[in-house]
Amino acid sequence: MEALIGSDGLLNSILQIGGSTVPARTRFIASTIATTTYSSLTFGLFSGLVGAITPFGPLVPFLSGCWMGYSLGLYSVWRSAKSLAVRCAERYPRLLAHTLELEFELMVPRDCVDFPPIKTAGSTPIYNAEEETSLYQWQSGREDFVNSSSHPFAQWICNGGIGRLSWAILAAQECQRTMYDIERDQIEKIVDANYRNAD
* pLDDT per residue as tens digits for the range 118-171: 554 444 444 444 444 333 334 434 444 566 557 888 888 988 889 999 999 999
**Given 62, 80, 98, which residue is the final one in a domain?**
80
pLDDT at residue 189 greater than cutoff 80 = yes
Q: Which of 68, 73, 72, 91 is nearest to 34 (CA)?
A: 73
178 and 160 in a common domain = yes
143 and 75 in a common domain = no
pLDDT at residue 32 greater than cutoff 90 = yes
Left if phi > 0, otherwise alpha if psi is -120 to 50, otherwise beta: which for 104?
Answer: alpha
Q: Is 126 helix (H, G, I), strand (E, B) or coil?
A: strand
Percent of the chain with pLDDT over 90: 39
Percent of the chain with pLDDT over 70: 72
183 and 97 in a common domain = yes
A 10 A CB-CB count for 73 gives 24
36 and 14 in a common domain = yes
Amino acid letter, residue 187: I
Q: HEC profile for 114-125?
A: CCCCEEEECCEE
Number of domains present in the structure of the chain = 2
**Given 45, 63, 80, which residue is the final one in a domain?**
80
pLDDT at residue 68 greater than cutoff 70 = yes
DSSP state of 127: E
The pLDDT confidence band at residue 12, using thresholds 50, 70 and 90, is: low
Are 113 and 153 within 8 A, CB to CB? yes
